Amino acid sequence: MNSRTSSTGLGIRIEGLRKRYGEGDMAVEALREVNMIVAPGEVVGLVGPSGSGKSTLLKCLGAIITPTAGKMWLGDQPIFDNGWKTNDLRALRRDSIGFIFQAPYLIPFLDVTDNVALLPMLAGLSNDKARSRALDLLTELDVQHRAKAQPSKLSGGEQQRVSIARALANQPPVILADEPTAPLDSERALGVMRILNRMAVQYKTAIIVVTHDEKIIPTFKRIYHIRDGKTYEEAGEGREP
Ligand SMILES: Nc1ncnc2c1ncn2[C@@H]1O[C@H](COP(=O)(O)OP(=O)(O)OP(=O)(O)O)[C@@H](O)[C@H]1O
Ligand SMILES: [Mg+2]
């Protein structure tokens, strides 16, 4: 049983998460009380002012930094309970978490297909199977005609769709997106949100989107606000409670 197969069905849950950077007088309480549930197939927004703890929360969830206290579950599997529950954080990151950043960060010397196929290859899939999975995803995201191109030859919107394909390539139960639509115009930003919503349902992925982008805020059924390291769930206007 690996970190992925044991966790189908339930998305992500966080309880009482805290993160302090530094010690003594220099300590910063970046997360004080974070509670969150994201179901499989659900896309939630995470909104808050600069310095409120958004990136810190994504880094904790992505096992890039270690929380100070609290609990996190992937599906029914505890991944953090006042300490990591696995010794292999690299496998946790590779198999369970997909990242989408504001900039696509594609690898310039690999073609589009290999950019998407790389993670499944690292996870042990044969090169042929990984490339075929990559092509399927590129087709779903409507960039298959650029499959053999170098990333630098693609438009910004095409690069962002490739980075979404890459995030989905290992079919992770969780995708973390940090300002994924910031550089895109309105139509493309809404297009990316439609893709994320469709992919979330299709692959039963729980997706958290950090955003300041007014254009896409109305697309979320649920939004978590974060202020001074504390989360508040808001069922906003036009949103379901
Ligand atoms: N490595 C670090 N060491 C010390 N303090 C840090 C570190 N990283 C972040 N902080 C502090 O933790 C708090 C939360 O930072 P974080 O980067 O999570 O905010 P954010 O909500 O992502 O802000 P922004 O919208 O500007 O990206 C801030 O006060 C920040 O200065
Ligand atoms: Mg940030």
Give residue 56 CA to ligand 1 midpoint distance, Å.
6
Residue 40 has what pLDDT? 95
> Token pair for residue 175?
């995708």
Residue 46 has what pLDDT? 97
Give residue 55 CA to ligand 1 midpoint distance, Å.
7
Residue 185 has what pLDDT? 82
Quote the crossing angle between the two packed helices 156-168 and 186-203, to the nearest 10°: 10
C-alpha radius of gyration, the chain, whole number: 18
What would the pLDDT profile of 88-122 be if each residue is shown by its tens digit? 999 999 889 999 988 889 999 999 999 999 999 99
What would the pLDDT profile of 191-207 be if each residue is shown by its tens digit? 889 989 998 999 899 99
Contact of 13 with 72, CB cutoff 8 Å: yes
Burial degree of 236 (CB within 10 A; 0-12, 13-18, 19+): middle
Report the alpha-carbon distance of residue 54 to residue 72 in Å, rounded.
Answer: 16
Give residue 203 CA to ligand 2 midpoint distance, Å.
27
Residue 43 has what pLDDT? 96
- What CATH class does 43-66+84-234 carry? alpha beta
Q: What confidence category does residue 236 fall into, taking pLDDT thresholds of 50, 70 and 90? A: low
Q: Of all atoms in ligand 1, which is nearest to the CA of residue 49?
A: 25
Residue 111 has what pLDDT? 97
What would the pLDDT profile of 152-168 be if each residue is shown by its tens digit? 999 988 998 999 999 99
What would the pLDDT profile of 166-193 be if each residue is shown by its tens digit? 999 988 999 999 998 887 788 888 988 9
pLDDT winner (highest mean) among 43-47, 137-141, 232-236: 43-47
Closest C-alpha residue for ligand 1 atom 26: 50
Ligand nearest to the CA of 48: 1
Closest C-alpha residue for ligand 1 atom 7: 21
Residue 103 has what pLDDT? 83
Closest C-alpha residue for ligand 1 atom 24: 50
Candidate from 18, 32, 55 with most ligand 1 atoms within 8 A of CB, to mutate: 55
On the question of pLDDT at 22 being above 90, the answer is yes
Query: Which of these ranges, 134-143, 182-191, 217-226, has the smallest mean pLDDT?
Result: 182-191
On the question of pLDDT at 8 being above 80, the answer is no
What would the pLDDT profile of 79-89 be if each residue is shown by its tens digit? 999 999 999 99
Closest C-alpha residue for ligand 1 atom 4: 21
Residue 131 has what pLDDT? 97
Residue 4 has what pLDDT? 39
Give residue 127 CA to ligand 1 midpoint distance, Å.
39
Residue 3 has what pLDDT? 41
Residue 28 has what pLDDT? 96
Give residue 54 CA to ligand 2 midpoint distance, Å.
6
Report the alpha-carbon distance of residue 105 to residue 102 in Å, rounded.
Answer: 9
**DSSP E strand boundaries for 7-145:** 12-21, 28-38, 43-47, 69-74, 77-81, 97-100
Report the alpha-carbon distance of residue 88 to residue 105 in Å, rounded.
Answer: 25
Give the percent of the chain with pLDDT over 90: 73
Q: Of all atoms in ligand 1, which is nearest to the CA of residue 56?
A: 18
Model confidence, pTM: 0.88
Residues near ligand 1 (Cβ within 6 A): 21-22, 28, 30, 48, 50-56
Please name every residue paired with 233 in a beta bridge, in sequence order, or none if there are none.
224
